[in-house]
Structure 1
């Protein structure tokens, strides 16, 4: 049994706890949450021990793994504390929003030879997995270019994330689609150029970017273009809109997560989110499949692809995006 502690019981932490409850090889032994109301609610909900201090949780329990589900900018300290004690780690994306912090985290994880999975959940998302298999089959030939956009409605930075001022759509959304491009292309990014807009959210008292656009160049000379925004109107069919286009030398592939096959017409027109629909009471979410893979890797001692090295590379690219915007020039990625 993989005895697990969870740090951060927001939307993601609760989802991971629910997923663990359905995994017969893992258990939620303890949780950490700084909000008193949330801590008490989730202690009762998951029938587990609760702490406000993650160090105390780790020190007082015989744990095998830790899930770090804190906000983007609060990953480093709990990751290092857990890694130094030999605990396996599942870390929310982005791995870090600082390259220096990400390098330190990666070095400690590698030194202690623990398993680490960075939550690039689309590697377990059926449409993206189907495309990966199609690329590997050779049916579209070598990838020539990639175009992708991932947007959220304005509900996300204004209501859902109380800490959005400490993040950007680049840190919150780009890691997903940039990881997919690297996973598909299997190439390293060498250069990035980006632009960004600050207007709408600043007018609402939230000092962060509304949108960002980035062009990255891979080491084989091919390019990918990424667009992200989190100020879409709340009338959108879903809270997010993700499109992906992969153009190969012999064909092309297209992903549209906005259209999930079911549409509802009534007082308003909306799409139903079918990816992740529970069946027979069981979760079918990509993050659930991802967590199950993490547990399996611990139980069976198998390798993880979305590891701390992938997380570090991703952080270097996304930090490069932000540097490019600030410095108004192309940035070389080491």
Structure 2
């Protein structure tokens, strides 16, 4: 149900790293009001009461929307409980652990319930600037690197489901083209149960190719998108939010470099502001990912 006031009443379910980030950022958004917290491992957080049981939380707290930031394998069951109570949903990526779970969730969404999946890189200002720069240009290839040290908090999924889904979604979002075929090479080096090292390659519509290099073996974080077009070569740094265009190569090995304009900001705040606008004013931002978008990413990383 949609709140008629100017504030969207939100509950946050799951107070791990991402849940706490959501809570912090929601406190910065004038149109958002956090009305309750739920986590099965604590009774209080920063002076706020925390419900341990999801059912009790949903029965006792009146909210318009909920942020689901629990481990991935719990997404579907909690989302179904929320939707039964008419609550709009922001579900952290990926939407579910498997394609089958994601499809069953999508088919259960009642009319009038708004759902968003947290593919936050769509809301990164440098991605927005890159997409604007690419408008009308012929894209030859996209190469994305997303590497860094292993995060011990990630125990229930491997790097394909946790990290590669970001970039599969970005490839589809940036190019606005569908994947025709793909190949995945992965290995398990340090993770207890899942892959932690992968290279993915894609053939897209329009004779475009793409690749992703991702791992939890690199001692530093690197997040980079490189796009080759007919007009120039773009390099986007997602961490520092910097975008450069390289063009006009000459026979003396010189070329032009242009620093593209990027209006820096916190991607999660942009994403949550768009979600609030969607719930309160039915304003759908193209930067928001749908359950169907997330299903497609899961299909493309499935082994």
TM-score calculated relative to the size of structure 2: 0.85
Within the alignment, does 1:117 sit opposite 2:123 as a pair? no
Paired residues for 1:229-308 under 5 Å = 229-233=215-219, 236=220, 240-257=221-238, 284-305=265-286, 306-308=289-291
Partners of 2:88 and 2:263 in 1: how far apart? 26
Question: Is this contact kept in 1: 2:147–2:214, CA < 8 A?
Answer: yes
Cα shift at 1:112: 2.8
Question: Is this contact kept in 1: 2:36–2:50, CA < 8 A?
Answer: yes
Cα shift at 1:215: 0.9
SS across alignment from 2:216: strand
List, as ranges, runs of 4+ consecutive aligned residues in structure 1 with deviation greater than 6 Å. Answer: none
TM-score calculated relative to the size of structure 1: 0.77
Counterpart for residue 133 of structure 1: 132
Question: Is this contact kept in 1: 2:277–2:284, CA < 8 A?
Answer: no
Within the alignment, does 1:142 sit opposite 2:160 as a pair? no
Question: Is this contact kept in 1: 2:274–2:284, CA < 8 A?
Answer: no
Partners of 2:241 and 2:285 in 1: how far apart? 29
Question: Is this contact kept in 2: 1:96–1:102, CA < 8 A?
Answer: yes
Cα shift at 1:310: 1.3
Cα shift at 1:96: 1.7
Partners of 2:205 and 2:263 in 1: how far apart? 35
Within the alignment, does 1:310 sit opposite 2:300 as a pair? no
Question: Is this contact kept in 1: 2:69–2:92, CA < 8 A?
Answer: yes
Cα shift at 1:7: 0.7
Within the alignment, does 1:75 sit opposite 2:107 as a pair? no
Counterpart for residue 23 of structure 1: 29
Within the alignment, does 1:8 sit opposite 2:7 as a pair? no
Paired residues for 1:180-259 under 5 Å = 180-199=170-189, 201-202=190-191, 206-233=192-219, 236=220, 240-257=221-238
Aligned residues: 276
Paired residues for 1:22-101 under 5 Å = 22-36=28-42, 39-42=43-46, 44=47, 47=48, 49-101=49-101
Cα shift at 1:256: 2.3
Between Structure 1 and Structure 2, which shows a larger proportion of strand residues?
Answer: 2
Question: Is this contact kept in 2: 1:8–1:32, CA < 8 A?
Answer: yes
Cα shift at 1:77: 0.6
Q: Gaps (5+ residues) in structure 1?
A: 262-274, 278-283, 324-334
Cα shift at 1:105: 1.3
Partners of 1:31 and 1:9 in 2: how far apart? 8
Cα shift at 1:259: 5.2
SS across alignment from 2:201: strand
Within the alignment, does 1:153 sit opposite 2:143 as a pair? no
Partners of 2:228 and 2:64 in 1: how far apart? 43
Counterpart for residue 245 of structure 2: none
Q: What CA deviation, in whole Å up to 9, does each residue of 1:166-216 have, x standing for no partner? A: 2111111112111111111111223221111112x15xxx22222011112
Cα shift at 1:254: 0.9
Cα shift at 1:68: 0.3
Q: What CA deviation, in whole Å up to 9, does each residue of 1:94-144 have, x standing for no partner? A: 1122001111111122x33311121111122111111011112x2xx2112
